[in-house]
Amino acid sequence: MAKKTIANVDVAGKAVLIRVDFNVPLDENANVTDDRRIRMALATIQSVLQRGGRVILMSHLGRPKDAPDAKFSLKPAADRLAELLPGTNVIFAADTVGADAKAKVAALKDGEVLVLENLRFQPGEKKGLADFAAELAAFGDVYCNDAFGTCHRTDASMVAVPQAMAGKPKVCGFLVEKEIKYLTDAIANPQRPFVAILGGAKVSDKIMVIKNLLGICDKVLIGGAMAYTFSLAQGGKVGKSLVEADKVDLAKELLASGGDKLVLPVDTHAGDDFKADCNKMVVNSGEIPDDYEGLDIGPETAKLYADIVKGAKTVVWNGPMGVCEMPPFDAGTKAVAEAIAESDSISIIGGGDSAAAIQKLGFAEKVSHVSTGGGASLAMLEGQKFAAVELLDEA
């Protein structure tokens, strides 16, 4: 799946249209509270600037209703980017393909950066409309996809824009290159033992991931609330735990096909209410009292999973083991994160809660790769092909 990168293109004197993922959290004063996604795009942006090109950035932020909405403006992200690129002229366009954007694209000089207003202020973005895509495509001499978090989508900026740039270079940025390298190459040819750890609330969210990974992993460890659906499928008692009763038959199928590859919790940390100061007990899996609910894997499971992880050569983790934002029910997630950080494996952390936990615990520098895209990383673990990546130029 090797694709040409921005490093393979002569950008001197050219306008490079880069799809980035600046979908960053903002506080009530419109300040960026976590700039990681902006920082992850810096290498690609600087590569163009240092080689004499000019950069036009497009991104979405939040879920506006296909119309301008001040609280979803990309202006705060543009301001933060300017702080991260001292000495570089970072300009903001008040619209996406309107008069202001067109005037500022025309006036843009080599070595400068222009940030277009939120793509999703335009109905053509989510609908993938060709006319809207053509207006964006006209801005660039080169198309660059560095937005892994939206690679599984078919929005105009991801698919129709590069399609409209026939005959022009279409490449990936360094972030997308890295994501592809880890999430496809490492999984296609894993060093073994290859262990996957899957958590989160719903079996239904991860059916295809579990099926795909059972075919290629040596062990698939299950945590989070979806473990209780598996427990129910085995005839266990799950009390008030979050379960998907309509997915019990599916869980039985996965148990049958997975055999000893599919590893379930042996004990559960349960509480009588969904709060930190509830009454707590550790029970064997499948033995949760009627008035209690499972809120984390138990200590024996945490030790079992840590031991399996420590012997692995490739580890993929997506989804917390329990209610990781509420101590003491974060202990299982912490134990797994620590075991991954201490192992000498190639370790790939899926986006979302797993990425947040690794960052919060200070282990981000001790793992091989923390993905920037929750939904996209899950889709790639399912074995999906992405149109937004497929149409980029082959290396």
Model-level pTM?
Answer: 0.82
Q: Find the mean pLDDT for residues 114-142.
A: 97
Q: Is the pLDDT of residue 374 over 80?
A: no
Q: What does CATH list as the number for 6-177? A: 3.40.50.1260
Looking at residue 294, what DSSP letter applies?
E
Q: What per-residue confidence (pLDDT) applies to 241?
A: 96
Residue matched to tokens 């008035």? 291
Residue 356's nearest CA partner among 342, 337, 381 is: 337
The pLDDT confidence band at residue 269, using thresholds 50, 70 and 90, is very high
- Mean pLDDT across the stretch 253-257? 94
Could you count the other beta carbons within 10 Å of the beta carbon of residue 2? Answer: 12
Cα–Cα distance, 244 to 231 (Å, whole number): 11
Catalytic residue among 37, 51, 178, 206: 37
| 3-class secondary structure per residue, 102-155 | HHHHHHCCCCCEEECCCHHHCHHHHHCCHHHHHHHHCCCCEEEECCHHHCCCCC
Question: For 25, left (φ over 0), alpha (ψ -120 to 50), or beta?
Answer: beta
DSSP element (H, E) containing 221? strand 219-222
Taking 80 as the threshold, does the pLDDT of residue 352 lie above it?
Answer: no
User: Which residues are CB-contacts of 43 (< 8 A; sequence separation ≥ 6)?
Assistant: 173, 174, 175
Check if 111 is active-site. Answer: no
Give φ, ψ of 42 to 5 degrees: -60, -40
For 169-191, what is the HEC assignment? CEEECHHHHHHHHHHHHHHHCCC
pLDDT of residue 375: 78
Cβ atoms of 116 and 90 closer than 8 Å: no
The one catalytic residue in 62, 98, 111, 375 is 375
Give the rounded percent of residues in the chain with a pLDDT score beyond 70.
99
- pLDDT(351) > 80: no
Q: How confident is the model at residue 185 (pLDDT cuts 50, 70, 90)?
A: confident
Mean pLDDT of 145-156: 93
d(CA 229, CA 231): 5
As a whole number of angstroms, the distance between CA 71 and CA 51 comes to 35
**352 given a catalytic annotation:** yes
Q: Are 305 and 197 in contact (CB under 8 A)?
A: yes
Residue 249 has a pLDDT of: 94
For residue 373, the model assigns a pLDDT of 76
What are the residue ranges of helices labelled H in the chain?
A: 36-40, 42-50, 75-84, 99-107, 123-127, 130-137, 160-164, 174-180, 186-188, 203-216, 226-233, 248-258, 299-310, 331-342, 353-360, 374-381, 387-390
Please, which pLDDT band fits residue 301 given cuts at 50, 70 and 90? very high
User: Rounded mean pLDDT of 234-241?
Assistant: 96
Torsional class of 224: left (φ above 0), alpha (ψ -120 to 50), beta (otherwise) = left
Mean pLDDT, the chain, whole residue set: 93
Most confident of 5-9, 23-27, 201-205: 5-9
In which residue ranges of the chain is CATH 3.40.50.1260 found?
A: 6-177, 190-381
The residue ranking higher by pLDDT, 10 or 324, is 10
| Confidence bin at 306 (pLDDT 50/70/90) | very high
Q: Which of 239, 319, 352, 373 is catalytic?
A: 352
Q: Which tokens in the block code for residue 217?
A: 């992993």
Q: Ranked by mean pLDDT, which of 2-11, 207-216, 355-364 comes out on top? A: 2-11
Catalytic residue among 202, 211, 261, 313: 202
Mean pLDDT within 214-219: 93
Long-range interactions of 357-362: CB distance < 8 A, separation 24+:
357/320, 357/324, 357/330, 357/333, 359/36, 361/334, 361/337
The CATH number of 190-381 is which of 1.10.3720.10, 3.40.50.10470, 3.40.50.1260, 3.40.50.300?
A: 3.40.50.1260
pLDDT exceeds cutoff 80 at 1:
no
Asked if residues 305 and 328 have their Cβ atoms less than 8 Å apart, the reply is: no
pLDDT score of 190 more than 70: yes
Q: In terms of DSSP bridges, do strands 170-172 and 142-145 run parallel, antiparallel, or are they unpaired?
A: parallel
| Lowest pLDDT segment from 121-135, 212-226, 273-287, 358-372 | 358-372
Q: Per-residue pLDDT for 189 more than 90?
A: no
Report the pLDDT value the prediction gives residue 49, as an integer from 0 to 100. Answer: 98
For residue 250, report the phi and psi dihedrals to the nearest 5 degrees. Answer: -65, -40
In whole angstroms, give the CA distance from residue 317 to residue 331.
Answer: 16
